């Protein structure tokens, strides 16, 4: 029988040592300090179960951490408030070890990810690993990356390979909304709640049971950030002008091209809200770091216009820095194809601006 691993969450050396003595006959171990669990790491998905040292947390925190791991990893959770508690879980874990089967359906489609992201440098391999984690969980995601780098596309890919794939994907860009209307757009409103207000369901309600992608999260005012944090904490919200509570049942994916950590340091973005939205943090690499994907996107765009790219045209594209990322590349290829009279585009046919 293969050696399965248990994830031990504790900051106490004596607890970790005791667990190893009790379970070493049956399992290997992967240990993390309690302060290291703010972000889900790839190794967490390689464990059979999670053993949490409850003495390191308050009762409320222990319950939250257990739910956090159970919902994200979909692994059994065992909480121990003293070392001897480990003993009563031995038989359950050994039984679980015997029942483990690798035939379960995997929600994540690796082939689709390889097709979506074909660059093979270390940066992009890390990007693939992060997306795979997001697809396998229902946790909140924060996408960081330059403008036009494909954060919206990444969010949609995660949705389409998640447990909510058969429900609606809703995209909402805060930068496109009048600041005075952001709260009513998010929470909804009742008729007469403010001048000109009509009955409005709001994005939170419309996204129910599906995935809600909120772009440019840093555009929220500090006042709205406080209300937003309250919604994330309680998973409940009220329409503007109403006291009736509605439940929020949607997977949340946020994105920004701002340096959000700097905004937190300058008190321009609430620290607690940052912690709430950054359960899984994915850095979307700029297009200049994804050369293989750049070529694929360019060739696909050119084919739409019945054109092909020569090797010298491709070299010219690869040598460019693409500050506007995928959005700029697509515009460049369309501009070049429309302007060119020949079927095959050469270097001189590529028009950047």
Query: Could you tell me if 263 and 217 are in contact, meaning their C-beta atoms sit under 8 angstroms apart?
Result: no
For the ranges 54-68, 122-136, 173-187, the one whose mean pLDDT is highest: 173-187
Report the 3 state secondary structure along 254-280.
EEECCCHHHHHHCCCCCHHHHHHHCCE
Tens of pLDDT, residue by residue over 188-227, are 888 766 666 677 788 888 888 899 999 999 999 998 899 8
Tens of pLDDT, residue by residue over 7-18, are 888 888 888 888
Average pLDDT on 97-116 reads 51
**Is the pLDDT reported for residue 181 higher than 50?**
yes
**Is the pLDDT reported for residue 343 higher than 70?**
yes
Q: What is the pLDDT of residue 70?
A: 63
Q: What is the pLDDT of residue 114?
A: 47
Q: What is the pTM of this model?
A: 0.62
**How far lies 154's CA from each of 10, 47, 150, 246, in Å?**
34, 27, 6, 29
Q: What is the pLDDT of residue 103?
A: 42
Same fold: 4-99 with 110-283? yes
**Is the pLDDT reported for residue 1 higher than 50?**
no
Q: Hey, where are the domains in the chain?
A: 4-99, 110-283, 287-349
| Architecture of the structural domain at 287-349 | Orthogonal Bundle (1.10)
Rounded CA-CA distance 349/335 in Å is: 10
Query: Could you tell me if 268 and 274 are in contact, meaning their C-beta atoms sit under 8 angstroms apart?
Result: no
CA angle 260–329–341, rounded 5-degree value:
165
- Which band of pLDDT confidence, cut at 50, 70 and 90, is reported for residue 131? confident
Tens of pLDDT, residue by residue over 16-39, are 888 888 888 888 877 777 655 544
- Neighbouring CB atoms inside 10 A of 62's CB total 17
Q: What is the pLDDT of residue 5?
A: 78
Average pLDDT on 123-129 reads 64
- Tell me if residue 73 falls in helix, strand or coil: helix
Rounded CA-CA distance 304/76 in Å is: 49
Produce one character per residue of 270-309: b if its CB has 16 or more CB atoms within 10 Å, e if not: beebbebbbbbbbebbbbebbbebbbbbbeebbeeeebeb
Rounded CA-CA distance 350/294 in Å is: 14
Rounded CA-CA distance 54/10 in Å is: 8
CATH number assigned to the domain with residue range 4-99, chosen from the 4 options 3.40.50.12240, 3.40.50.300, 3.40.50.150, 2.60.40.10: 3.40.50.300
Q: What is the pLDDT of residue 67?
A: 63
Q: Which of 37, 38, 9 is nearest to 276 (CA)?
A: 38
Task: Give the mean pLDDT of the chain.
Answer: 81
Rounded CA-CA distance 34/12 in Å is: 9
- Which band of pLDDT confidence, cut at 50, 70 and 90, is reported for residue 55? confident
Q: Does the domain formed by 110-283 have CATH 3.20.20.30?
A: no
**Is the pLDDT reported for residue 232 higher than 80?**
yes
Q: What is the pLDDT of residue 144?
A: 93
SS3 content of the chain, % helix, strand, coil (to 5): 50, 15, 35
């Amino acid at each position: 029988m293969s050696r399965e691993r248990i994830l031990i969450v504790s900051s106490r050396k004596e607890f970790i040592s005791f667990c190893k003595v009790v379970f070493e006959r049956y399992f290997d171990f992967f240990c993390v300090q309690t302060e290291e669990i703010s972000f889900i790491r790839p190794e967490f998905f390689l464990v059979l179960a999670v053993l949490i040292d409850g003495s390191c947390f308050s009762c409320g925190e222990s319950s939250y951490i257990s739910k956090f791991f159970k919902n994200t990893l979909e692994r059994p959770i065992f909480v121990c408030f003293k070392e001897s508690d480990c003993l009563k879980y031995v038989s359950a874990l050994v039984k679980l070890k015997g029942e483990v089967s690798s035939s379960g359906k995997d929600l994540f489609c690796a082939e689709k990810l390889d097709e979506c992201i074909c660059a093979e440098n270390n940066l992009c391999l890390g990007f693939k690993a992060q997306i795979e984690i997001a697809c396998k969980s229902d946790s909140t995601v924060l996408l960081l990356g330059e403008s036009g780098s494909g954060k919206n596309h990444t969010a949609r890919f995660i949705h389409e390979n998640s447990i909510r794939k058969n429900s609606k994907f809703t995209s909402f860009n805060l930068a496109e909304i009048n600041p005075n209307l952001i709260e009513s757009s998010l929470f909804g409103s009742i008729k007469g709640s403010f001048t000109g207000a009509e009955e409005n369901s709001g994005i939170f309600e419309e996204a129910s049971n599906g995935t809600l992608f909120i772009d440019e999260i840093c555009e929220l005012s500090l006042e709205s950030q406080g209300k937003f944090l309250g919604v994330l904490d309680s998973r409940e919200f009220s329409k503007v002008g109403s006291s009736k509570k509605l439940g929020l049942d949607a997977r949340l994916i946020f994105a920004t091209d701002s340096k959000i950590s700097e905004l937190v340091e300058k008190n321009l973005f609430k620290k607690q809200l940052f912690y709430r939205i950054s359960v899984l943090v994915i850095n979307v690499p700029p297009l200049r770091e994804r050369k293989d994907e750049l070529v694929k996107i360019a060739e696909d765009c050119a084919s739409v216009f019945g054109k092909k790219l020569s090797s010298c045209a491709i070299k010219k594209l690869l040598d460019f820095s693409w500050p506007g990322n995928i959005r700029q590349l697509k515009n460049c290829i369309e501009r070049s194809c429309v302007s060119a009279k020949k079927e095959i585009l050469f270097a001189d046919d590529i028009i950047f601006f």
